[in-house]
Structure 1
Amino acid sequence: MLSFIRDNVQSVLIRFIVGIVALVMLSFGVSSFQDQGINVIATVDGHDIKLENYRYAFEQEQRRYRERYQDQADEAMKAANVSAQVVQRLINSSLVIQSAKDNGFTVTDAELANEIYANQAFQTDNRFDAEKYSTLLKSNRMDKISYELDLRNSLLSSKYQTFLEAGATISQSWLKKEFDKYQTEMDIRLIEIRPEMFAKDISLTDTQIEEYYGANPNQFKQKEQYRIQYFLLSREDVQGQVKVRDREIEKYYAKNKKKEFTTKEAFKSRHILITTPRDKNAEAMQEAKQMAQAAYEQIKANSSLFAALAKSISNDPGSAVQGGELGWAEKGTFVPEYENAVRGMEKGEIAPPFLSTFGYHIVQLQDTRQAQEQPMESVRSEIIKGITAKKAERRLKNKVNKLLKALETQSLEATAQGVDKEVITTKAFDDGTQLESLGYSYQLYTEMKGKKENDKGNFVVNGDKGTLVYQVSEVIPAKTKAFETIKDEAKAFAEREAMAQKADEKLSEYQAQASSKEAFEQLATTLKITPQDLTFKLTDPQVGSVRDVKRFQTSIYKMKKGETQSFAASGQRFLVYLSKKQISSTKKDEEELQKLKQQLREQKAQVLLNALVQERLKQAEVEYNSSMIQALNINI
């Protein structure tokens, strides 16, 4: 996370990585794809949630599960019903945006522009490159309107959530109580009850397997597939024909000197932020002011304490860990109160606490930098490169259009020969196929939707690899695979389900048996399982191989020492014996208290946001595209 101020003024909390189709948590708006009816998975109060957005969010979750659970990822995702979770998150994100707008939050054009200009993916030599911006969006099948609308909504969501967080007050008594809770250390003995333990008890008839197949047709569906022939043209194929004249360089420099080749006036500063409550509670406001003043007096007496105090008490999580450092920022970047304070300061000066919409700031101005214009000769090669790329892109587009026109009267092979290219035939692919030289097929598959055999067209490949000129050679309809062809696969699925049911039954039985430590150990011996010894706190990100960590930690925290309890979630089943539960440290370190305070603020804000979403959800009109939901095998 970047600095608290920048999160709210420039909203750079959410960085876009070029190559994505949509956001993970916020994914709705204008689509850059052609068939909007087909691509809509659900509608929330008139706002469309696109198939492309669902796909991207689902793939992110799939990647996360595979990294953590490896060969058990599919089972874990099914148990957690990840597909339905993704749909619900997208619906919630839509409602957050609508709530933010209703409460008067907006994102200005300047904020949107700042975010785009600051994105390094759109920069050349640390400056925004308009040509690169257009090219990268185009190569990722995105148009500017769609991208900027999604970006604006994302910034709006970030601004709204940060506002709620800033208004979350945490009393000292509750903070200390929660500190003790989070410092509680639990020692457990853990037995995992795996479905495979009961494999020998499962024996299914052919009739039972076929019944499973009939009851779960979506598990055995083959999506529609395509096979295409193509040849690839790149910018390099036409770049040698491009010439850049001196007058073009001079004209470009003169036109873009102020925007691209002038370093704006900037300053470098660091700060300590003591946040204030949203409701401006007098007692809390006074407490924040006194805390800021006390810190200022310490720094005034010894400026070398600035970094240490920032790390220990600042509520700006992004800069606190850096000793309050905010780095270089162009004038006009921060809120007016901050800018006004800095404007009248000398280098090295530390300003007394002042109040902004986020709280009390203590600021030190470290350095300043005047606006500076770069001479044309120092950026000449950069300008040539940009003009060359633009001209080459235009030439490539014209060449592709001519080739598509030629394809109306001649074969793909003849057209390819005319430009010394080889025709390549792909294997049959759907949206999850890795294609040689082209990479992941998702966006190409989206391009193919609705195409028929012998249809022709062009497609810009991801990563600016070039443009395909293609012809559809085969369309393979979607179908449910015949039982005879996947009988073994169906048998494996049916057996896995039967073993899981058996494991659930046995877990309840084992909990009743293991009512004491001795009984727990005896059960482990009988099952020939060596219990795991684990020690953890509520703040630990992982507990052994447990998938649903937070629920597991909370469940165990509620237990009493010496108790045995079963726990089942995310496709896992555990029997747990709590052997020890005690506060590991009673010393309340100020730095640790402040870190916990920030975490609790975030949690409290999230609870409030969830409540707002749930309340809005009661009134919202949510329409699902049932055919799409069914085709994707989403269990809403």
Structure 2
Amino acid sequence: MLQALHDKVSGTIAKVLLAVLIFVFSFFGIESYMTGRADTYVAKVGDHEISTQDFRGRFDQYRARAQASMGANFDPQLIDNPMQKRRVLDGMIDEQLILEANDKLGIMIPAQKIQDQIRQTPQFQSDGKFDSATYRAVLGSIRKTPREYDENIRKDLLARELPAQIMQSSFVTDLDIDTYLRLRDEKRSFRYVALDKLTADAPKITDAQAEEFFKQHSADFTNPEKVTIEYVDLDGAKLSVEAKPDEATLKARYEKEKARFVSPEQREASHILVKLPQNADAEAQKKGLQAATEIAKQAKAKPADFAKLAKEKSDDLGSKSAGGDLGWLEKGVTQAAFEAALFGMNKGDISDPVLSPEGYHIIQLRDVRAQKERSFDEVKPDLTKEFVETERDRVFSEAAGKFTDQAIASPSSLEPAAKAVGLTVQKTAPFTRQGGGEGISADPAILKAAFSDAVLVQGNISDPVQLGQNHIVLLRIAENGHIASTPKKLDEVRAQINLILVAQEQTTQAKKRADELYARLEKGESLDKLADELKLKVSEGKDVLRADASLDSKLVADVFALPRPAADKPVPLLVTLANNTYDLAVVTAVTDGDPATANAATRDSVRSELAQGIGYEAAKAFIANLRKEAKIKVAEDRM
């Protein structure tokens, strides 16, 4: 048999086949036949991929912040839309571009700055001070180690550092301030007439006009597409969980996870920092050490005055005002050299200068908390609660498995899936793509699934729709549950069309009258003559500032947008306001603001405001340039 096989693969046909295969593999790469890869990124910045998971996490944070700030006024449709999703993704792309620029420019975040950020986080504080036990408890609740959290903080600070440095590099001259003050405090005087609304009878709309409008805009007059869905709602919070762990089970878990219930040794410390410049040379380090040594000498001479000395001498702005107080610290929280010194001291000691990347620290160890291990009896309630929650997760996981398996096995009905988990199939009222339904049909995720091709066009049961933790829904279009969009008849919308056409005609007439009056004003007729003719009052704005809130903002904005009037020749203006109303106006005088009247505090405030604005625009331009030079690919369909 082997000889026969050899003969077959040694002939001319085999050689031709081999040549074809060599060509294919050399062109496409043999690895494409050995491995399969499906792109799952939402965006790709150079070689870096932003995964769907990372994007979803960031968008969920954005959504949660919006919901918290808007409270009862929160509208999911304002958040869960392509425009807002792209806005969040663009922010992530900008962050990645900045991080890459940081690497090229060698920008780093000092460890001290990361620790300052952590110490100032309210969630990690107890009685207004950083508390390491609280810190570890909070990190444990979000399943992060201190090292992972430090890295998150580092990346967050890095993403802000370069734009901040660009913004801080902007400068403003005294001439810039003078120019700004002249414009800001500029005053303008003008006269104006508010044209009243046309009071003529509403124009008569003929049937022919209505029919022609309906013909041209028939797509605007339709009954919207609607669907009715059947669904099964599997919510882990509502599942019956009978979990009563016995003593042995809890003790076994306690022994296995004992490290969780050990509070490590903590040390209450204060410090004084003598800061060194970045990349300090030997001479700078020598001067810093001399200064730190002198401070350490003073501190050791009068330990009770350490806090006072820290307020006077420390370069650490984060702790200086608190007398250098760093709160309770444990291993793994501070920089390595600082930690080694702190945990090598005795209570009451004051250290010699300790060198770190930030500078020299003089450390005072104020108190020590020994390592403490919580007993089984102390943590038993927590273990019981965790066991119940774990059991609930397990029960939900099993139920979700049965749920989805039955949906796959019986794609034409939700009944088997519902029966598998002891639930019933529910049904919504009809709803449109724009939402507006009640209950589950108001959820954006349900809307997206219901009107997806797989569900609406192909008639399948949806993939599990995630509505929250341990909460999924399967849905399908109910029988006869799809109502296609249908055109309305002219008689149904005739009254609506008449109102539209009347409004259009009135708008046209009002604009025509305003344009005619403005043309006369431009040709030299006086505003007073036009006002007398219209039996209207001429109003006056005397020395009006840009920020004047007593007049219509559109009127004021348009007045300040005009060029300066020549001597004895007012500049005419037609102002378009809301509801088909207009103002005729003439600008009579312009008076510049006087920079000399501004005191030092005002000039400093203006300088800061201008620098911030200039810096912001410079940072925006820098990021725009990074985008221009980068290779960015966005997968809109995965957002």
* Distance apart, 1:384 and its partner CA: 1.5
Contact kept? 2:428, 2:441, Cα under 8 Å: no
2:627 corresponds to which of 617, 625, 628: 617
> Partners in 2 of 1:462 and 1:614 — Cα distance?
36
2:91 to 86, 89, 92: 89
Alignment of 1:300-449 (within 5 A): 302-305=305-308, 314-316=316-318, 319=319, 325-347=325-347, 355-359=355-359, 361=361, 363-406=363-406, 408=409, 411-412=413-414, 416=418, 421-427=423-429, 433=435, 441-445=443-447, 449=452
How many percent identity over aligned positions? Answer: 19
Aligned-pair distance for 1:261?
0.8
Letter matched to residue 473 of structure 1? A
Task: Name the residue aligned to 1:456.
Answer: 461
Could you tell me which amino acid in structure 2 is paired with residue 464 of structure 1?
Q
Cross-structure match for 1:468: 473
Change (3 A) 1:82 1:248: closer
Q: In structure 1, how many angstroms separate the alpha carbons of the residues matched to 2:446 and 2:331?
A: 44
CA distance in 2, matches of 1:469, 1:228: 10
In structure 2, give the amino acid aligned to 1:468. V
- TM-score, reference length from structure 2: 0.53
How far apart in 1 are the matches of 2:633 and 2:348?
59
Partner of 1:255: 256
1:82 CA displacement = 8.1
Q: Identify the residue that residue 98 of structure 1 maps to in structure 2.
A: 100
Q: CA deviation at 1:332?
A: 1.8
Cα displacement string for residues 259-302 of structure 1 (whole angstroms, at most 9, x for unaligned residues) = x1111222233456576554648999899889989988997694
- Say yes or no: does 1:265 pair with 2:269: no
1:373 shift after superposition: 1.0
Residues in 2 aligned to 1:177 and 1:294: alpha-carbon distance in whole angstroms = 46
User: In structure 2, the residue corresponding to 1:228 is in which secondary structure?
Assistant: strand
- The aligned amino acid for 2:257 is N
Deviation sequence 1:170-218 (CA, Å, 0-9, x none): 89x9999999999999767799xxxx999989x9x9999999989xx9x
Distance 1:304 1:418, change over 3 A: closer
Task: Flag the structure with larger Rg.
Answer: 2
Q: Is the 8 A contact 2:184 2:593 kept in 1?
A: yes
Given residue 253 of structure 1, which amino acid in structure 2 is its aligned partner? Y
Q: Are the counterparts in 1 of residues 311 and 322 from structure 2 also a CA contact under 8 Å? A: no
Q: Which amino acid aligns with 1:242?
A: A
In the other structure, the counterpart of 2:46 is: 45
Q: Does the C-alpha gap of structure 1 residues 237 and 85 become closer, same or farther in structure 2, counting only changes over 3 Å?
A: closer
Seen in structure 2, the aligned counterparts of structure 1 residues 528 and 244 have a Cα distance that, compared at 3 Å, is: farther
1:207-246 superposed Cα distances (whole Å, 9 cap, x missing partner): 99999989xx9x9999998653223334455554323232
Greater mean deviation of Cα atoms: 321-330 or 336-345: 321-330
Does the 8 A contact of 1:351 with 1:362 survive in 2? yes
Change in Cα spacing, 1:466 to 1:383, as seen in structure 2 (3 Å) is same
Q: Deviations over 1:92-142 (max 9, x none)?
A: 2231233345567899xxx9xx99xx9979xx99866999758xxxxxxxx
Question: 2: CA distance between counterparts of 1:151 and 1:221?
Answer: 56
The 3 A distance-change label for structure 1 pair 61 and 373 is closer
Deviations 1:144-187 (A, max 9, x none): 9xxx999967753534644886999989x999999999999976
- The residue that corresponds to 1:246 in the other structure is 247
Query: Deviation string for 1:582-607 (max 9, x for gaps)?
Result: 6876489xxx99xx99x999999988
Note the C-alpha offset of 1:333: 1.0
CA distance in structure 2 between the partners assigned to 1:208 and 1:545 by the alignment? 38
Shift of 1:43: 4.0
How has the CA–CA distance of structure 1 residues 350 and 367 changed in structure 2, closer, same or farther, with 3 Å as cutoff? same
Deviation at 1:527, TM superposition (A): 6.7
Look up the match of 2:127. none
User: Residues of 1 paired with 2:107 and 2:273: CA distance?
Assistant: 23
Query: How far off is 1:440 after superposition?
Result: 6.7
Q: Which residue of 2 aligns with 1:233?
A: 234
Q: 1:327: Cα distance to partner?
A: 3.2
CA contact (8 A) 2:188 2:544 kept: yes
Q: Distance in 1 between matches of 2:328 and 2:262?
A: 16
CA distance in 2, matches of 1:262, 1:389: 22
1:450, distance to aligned residue in structure 2 (A): 4.5
- Residue pairs, 1:539-550, within 5 angstroms: none
1:262 alignment partner AA: V
Where does residue 158 of structure 1 map in the other structure?
A: 157
Amino acid at match of 2:471: G
Letter in 2 for 1:305: K
CA contact (8 A) 1:166 1:276 kept: no
Letter in 1 for 2:93: I
Contact 2:406 2:420 in 1 (8 A): no
SS at match of 1:456: coil
List aligned pairs for 1:55-70, cutoff 5 A. Answer: none
After superposition, residues 172-251 of structure 1 pair within 5 angstroms as 227-235=228-236, 237-251=238-252
Output the CA distance in 1 between the equivalents of 2:286 and 2:484.
Answer: 67
Does the C-alpha gap of structure 1 residues 411 and 155 become closer, same or farther in structure 2, counting only changes over 3 Å? same
5+ residue gaps in structure 1? 1-34, 75-80, 135-143, 514-524, 537-543, 547-551, 557-563
Counterpart secondary structure, 2:476? strand
Aligned-partner Cα distance in 2 for 1:183–1:100: 37
CA contact (8 A) 2:167 2:618 kept: no
Letter matched to residue 96 of structure 2 = S
Cα 1:491–1:265 change in 2 (3 A) is farther
Distance 1:61 1:152, change over 3 A: same
Give 3-state SS (helix, strand or coil) of 2:454's partner: coil
* Partners of 1:150 and 1:432 in 2: CA distance: 40
Residues of 1 paired with 2:241 and 2:176: CA distance? 67
Q: 1:393 to 1:54 in 2, by over 3 A?
A: closer
User: Cα distance 1:310–1:620, how it changes in 2: closer, same or farther (>3 A)?
Assistant: same
Distance in structure 2 (CA, Å) of the matches to 1:106 and 1:426? 55
Superposed CA offset, 1:398-434 (max 9, x none): 1233344455459535764676645433456689757
- Report the alpha carbon displacement of residue 382 of structure 1 after superposing the two structures with TM: 0.8
Q: 1:418 to 1:622 in 2, by over 3 A?
A: closer
Q: Is the 8 A contact 1:49 1:90 kept in 2?
A: no
Deviation per CA, 1:288-337, whole angstroms, max 9, x where unpaired? 889989988997694453675599x6444xx5676654433321212223
Contact 1:184 1:584 in 2 (8 A): no
Classify 1:374/1:578 alpha carbon distance in 2 versus 1 (closer, same or farther; 3 Å): farther
| SS of structure 1 residue aligned to 2:97 | helix
Inter-partner Cα distance in structure 2 for 1:212 and 1:278:
70
Offset at 1:455?
A: 2.9
The root-mean-square deviation of aligned C-alpha atoms, in Å, is: 7.5
TM, length-normalised to structure 1: 0.53
Name stretches of at least 5 consecutive residues in structure 2 with no aligned partner. 1-36, 125-132, 204-208, 523-536, 562-570, 579-584
The letter of the residue matching 1:452 is V
SS at match of 1:452: helix
